[in-house]
Amino acid sequence: MERTIPFETPRESEEVMAAGPVAGRFSRPAEMFWTAFSSTRHTGLFLVAPALLFLAIWFLWPVLSMIVSSFSSHSVDGVMVEGITFENYTRLFSSDLYFRILMRTVRIALLTSLCAMVFAYPLAIAIARGGPSLARLVTITILAPLLVNVVVRSYGWQTILNKAGAFAWILKQVGITSPPVLLYTEWAVLIACVHVYLPFMVMPLAAAIGRIDRTVEEAARVAGATRLKVFIRIVFPLSLPGLAVGASLVFSLSSAAYVTPQILGGNFSPLLGTLIEQQILTLNDWPFGAAISTLLIVMVLTVNLVFLNAVNRRFARWTESAR
């Protein structure tokens, strides 16, 4: 039987011969694989797959296991009981103590985000609009506390805020002989949380302000607008995306904080993070601790989604009106 020889152009034959027998044998499969990989759909799938796998193993699976555990119960001996029950959530919402801790957590997280916004705008403007030296100095000052362990920072604030600390000494020098007690109160937790999470508000704001066209601000100044009006009418609306990112980060981190409230608030101002630690490590009540953790996740996600939706709508309205 005669063997049919596939037709090849002279140029293809020359390329295969020049590349050698191995390259000629595998050039077409490699080309086909690269064509499939370089397409938009397959490229995105290959690039995202490792991150999705990592998140599924180390984030999604533990969270789902925690949610499932919140619908279970355990006996007096600590053995898990089979079956689904809503006892943990009934206990959580029927107690006034847990409701007050939840409200305290939301209040401190919201106040931390609000105070961080107020302090972050001048610092972000200095980074985005200042000279290289000023921007470098402010950036180092803002990021330097992140190099210190959160436990060390919390004990540092404990030293400052106690009755014989630096804060009481400054107030006495001013003339206040009986300074207010801040340690083991919500004020101590709020001050430390603002200090710890301020960089997460400043850096997104600085990036958003840096992307604003300077000619728009200069045109407003030429038209007679003051610096305050330029900030209110131009800088603030156009920096809303960065503000949304920073506020979301600060609220999420401060609502889930554990070390800072435990050291500075103690048993007098516990947050949900402290309550979760007590239920799991002290009382060994894993299902109830999982229920509190699920409530914390739902609360943080709900507040963030509502806030981001409101900011996006407001930003879209300002953008449309500017056009």
The helix (H) or strand (E) run that includes residue 73 is strand 73-74
pTM: 0.81
pLDDT at 315: 79
Could you report the per-residue pLDDT of 137-155, keeping only the tens digit for each?
999 999 988 888 888 999 9
Pair 281, 290: CB distance under 8 Å: no
pLDDT tens-digit map of 162-186: 888 888 888 888 887 777 888 888 9
The whole-angstrom separation of Cα 142 and Cα 161 is 21
pLDDT tens digit sequence for 23-36: 444 456 666 656 65
Name the residue with higher pLDDT: 298 or 73: 298
**Alpha helical stretches, state H, the chain:** 10-19, 21-38, 40-55, 61-70, 87-94, 96-129, 132-143, 150-161, 166-174, 186-197, 199-210, 214-222, 227-230, 236-238, 240-255, 259-260, 272-277, 286-322
Give me the mean pLDDT over the 191-199 stretch.
93
Question: In the chain, where are the structural domains located?
Answer: 83-322
Most confident of 72-76, 85-89, 128-132, 203-207: 203-207
Residue 271 has pLDDT above 50, yes or no: yes
Query: Fold for domain 83-322?
Result: MetI-like fold (1.10.3720)
The pair phi, psi for residue 190, each rounded to 5°, is -65, -45
Rounded mean pLDDT, 208-229: 89
